[in-house]
Amino acid sequence: MASVRCLFRDTAINNRYRNSIRAGIILAKKESLNMQDTIFITGGAGFIGANFVRYIFRHTNLRIVVLDKLTYAGHKVSVADVLKSSRVIFARTDIVEAKAVRRLFQRYRPVFVANLAAESHVDRSIDSPGDFIETNIVGTYVLLEQAYQFYQTLPEARRKTFRFLHVSTDEVYGTLGRTGLFKETTPYQPNSPYSASKASADHLVRAYYETYKLPCLITNCSNNYGPYQFPEKLIPLALLNAAEAKPVPIYGDGLNIRDWLYVEDHCAGLWLALRKGKLGEKYNIGGRNERTNLQVIHALLGALEKALPAKRNPAMIRAKKKSYLELKTFVRDRPGHDRRYAIGADKIRRELGWKPKHDFESGIRRTVEWYLASRRWCRQVQKGHGRARLGLKTARRR
């Protein structure tokens, strides 16, 4: 497949967004923490992980060790700018490799561990569930076990500050009807290999807290969107396809509902939970931005039209298309497609004081601007990877 070029020359949008990134890294108020304190961020070259690395870099003086296997969705380029700092260390590591993980614990002696390493695309889990079992279940077990063995070696004072945060998903709860919200007490009812693997990992984390008293917390988030998301997920895939005048696929009738959370708001919630959350507890993190997939596509294409009018886009001109809406293409639904997710985030709001700063419209606008300004990143991460639809092997067998 020809790599995505994003088709956009540097504009005021590029400069404005890049300047805001620089300002964020330089000017953000940092929390006063021990300079020797270290945080492990697994999956730190992936979508949420890379954003969390940046958030911790901007807001703390912690030493950051990024652990990432660098699969198709994890790219060192996503954290290349912060890796220039001596505070940030990159370790290409598969968390299922116990010896490698143990060496990192012994060498860097973290006070915080944030586990964001995961295979996360539902469609891929339909085609290749084994990868999800390996990373999401076995990998979480290995990380927990190595964290526990390390924790046992700590003096009492350091034990009191050690914390392990496991980042999970709302998909473990299953699907909702037309009303209601997922709460932390909602029973698990996963419907895909992906969500089943994450549910299993959540149970392991709880077990390590209850059985071994490893200081653990769990967060379950709604759908994230924003910078550095690999273009297989709905929003970046639709955006880049539309920018190239290619079909924008919409599953089924387009009325499946998700609760959308801008990734920077999620990162703020993760850090708050990691520092101030009650050990052994779960915290749901959601944006209260319920949208059907059709509404998401319409909002996205509307924001794209404002940033890059179709009449000025060479790809649209060549395709003889006057509106991005003409690119909408309904395709066969994927197997086991949950109808509605919606997170109830009252607990983290009430107990920890978290609330999102971005509404859906402002988040989408920032996301579109970032992708249009980041054509080099688009090319680099998609090299050798297509955007072909996954999850059809099972559909054909049904």
For tokens 């889990």, the residue is: 125
Q: Which are the contacts of 356, defined by CB distance < 8 A and separation ≥ 6? A: 261, 262, 265, 287, 288
Nearest partner of 71 among 52, 97, 88, 94, judged by Cα: 94
Catalytic residues: 170-171, 194
Q: What pLDDT shows up at residue 338?
A: 87
- DSSP, residue by residue, 113-153: EEE------HHHHHH-HHHHIIIIIIIHHHHHHHHHHHHHT
Q: What pLDDT shows up at residue 23?
A: 35
Q: What pLDDT shows up at residue 387?
A: 63
Q: What pLDDT shows up at residue 336?
A: 77
Give me the residues paired with residue 41 across strands. Answer: 66, 114
Angle at 195 between CA 189 and CA 197, to 5 degrees: 110
Say how far apart CA 195 and CA 142 lie, in whole Å: 19
Long-range CB pairs of 75-79 (<8 Å, 24+ gap) are: 75/45, 75/380, 75/381, 76/45, 77/377, 77/380, 77/381, 78/45, 78/46, 78/50, 78/228, 78/377, 78/381, 79/44, 79/45, 79/50, 79/53, 79/54
Say how far apart CA 245 and CA 308 lie, in whole Å: 12
Q: Are 227 and 220 in contact (CB under 8 A)?
A: no
Q: Are 263 and 301 in contact (CB under 8 A)?
A: no
Q: Phi and psi of 167, rounded to 5°? A: -100, 120
Say how far apart CA 302 and CA 305 lie, in whole Å: 5
pLDDT tens digits, 335-373: 878 899 999 999 999 999 999 999 999 999 999 999 999
Calculate helix-pair angle for 360-373, 12-27, nearest 10 degrees. 110
pLDDT tens digits, 263-274: 999 999 999 999
Say how far apart CA 155 and CA 272 lie, in whole Å: 25
Q: What pLDDT shows up at residue 375?
A: 85
The length of the chain, given as a count of residues = 398
For tokens 């980042």, the residue is: 167
Query: Alpha-carbon dihedral of residues 301, 302, 308, 309, nearest 10 degrees?
Result: 110
**pTM for this predicted structure:** 0.89
Rg of the chain over all Cα atoms, to the nearest angstrom: 21
Q: Are 117 and 67 in contact (CB under 8 A)?
A: yes
Q: What pLDDT shows up at residue 34?
A: 60
Angle at 283 between CA 277 and CA 288, to 5 degrees: 130
- Using DSSP's 3-state secondary structure scheme, residue 66 falls into strand
Say how far apart CA 22 and CA 69 lie, in whole Å: 27
Say how far apart CA 163 and CA 21 lie, in whole Å: 29
- pLDDT lower than 70: segments of the chain: 1-36, 386-398
Maximal CA-CA distance, the chain: 69
Say how far apart CA 367 and CA 363 lie, in whole Å: 6
Query: Alpha-carbon dihedral of residues 346, 258, 374, 388, nearest 10 degrees?
Result: 150
Q: Are 299 and 364 in contact (CB under 8 A)?
A: yes
Domains recognised in the chain with CATH numbers: 12-28+35-397 (3.40.50.720)
